[in-house]
Amino acid sequence: MDKYTALIEANFSRILFLKKERMLQLYFEKAEREWRILAEGIDDIFISEVRLSNVVDRIVFFDEKEKDELLIKARVFALMRGREPHDEDFTWKPLIEKVEHIKNGSLKYLEIKPVYGAQVCVLAERITFENVSTLPSLE
């Protein structure tokens, strides 16, 4: 069980994207707890269908530990080109370069697949996950 399992069936409570800083903050709520995913040094991003209710179905995360290179290529290609790849797409040089960055640890890939609402895909230098329920309140 990975750390992102806590987000299954959670709702997005806030999304903050800062283009100039190349940063994304995603906040989630579930059972009176709140988590944050922070992506810094964004290389590419896709966010679709944000609604008032955005429920997480599953999370896909790739870093240098992921061994399934074909799966990495398929997901990163879909992010880069906005469609699922064909066999000949797997030799596309920009895709191969991005996958190499993931394999050497200089980029991470995160995809949030919804039950309903927003899908988020991000390729970034750093992606962190934390329980912010335990952080001090701003009030």
Cα distance between residue 138 and residue 82, in whole Å: 39
Domain assignment of residue 90, yes or no:
yes
Task: Report whether pLDDT(139) > 60.
Answer: no
- Quick check: is 136 in a domain? no
Quote the Cα angle for 118-119-125, to 5°: 125
pLDDT of residue 80: 97
Residue 138 lies in a domain: no
For residue 106, being part of any structural domain is answered with yes
Would 21 be classed as within a structural domain?
yes
pTM: 0.90
Residue 29 forms part of a structural domain: yes
Higher-pLDDT residue of 133 and 123 is 123
Do the domain assignments include residue 88?
yes
What pLDDT digit, counting tens, does each position of 7-27 carry? 999 999 999 999 999 999 999
Predicted confidence at residue 1, as pLDDT, reads 46
Q: Which residues contact 30 (CB under 8 A, 6 or more apart)?
A: 6, 7, 9, 10, 11
Q: Which residue has the higher pLDDT, 138 or 32?
A: 32
For residue 122, is pLDDT > 70?
yes
Name the residue among 6, 120, 115, 113 with its Cα closest to residue 58.
113
Structural domain includes residue 51: yes
Structurally, how many domains does the chain consist of? Answer: 1
Quick: pLDDT tens for 38-94: 999 999 999 999 999 999 999 999 999 999 999 999 999 999 999 999 999 999 999
Look up the domain containing 25 and give its range.
3-131
Question: Is residue 76 within 8 Å of residue 26, measured between CB atoms?
Answer: no
Whats the size of the chain, residue-wise? Answer: 139
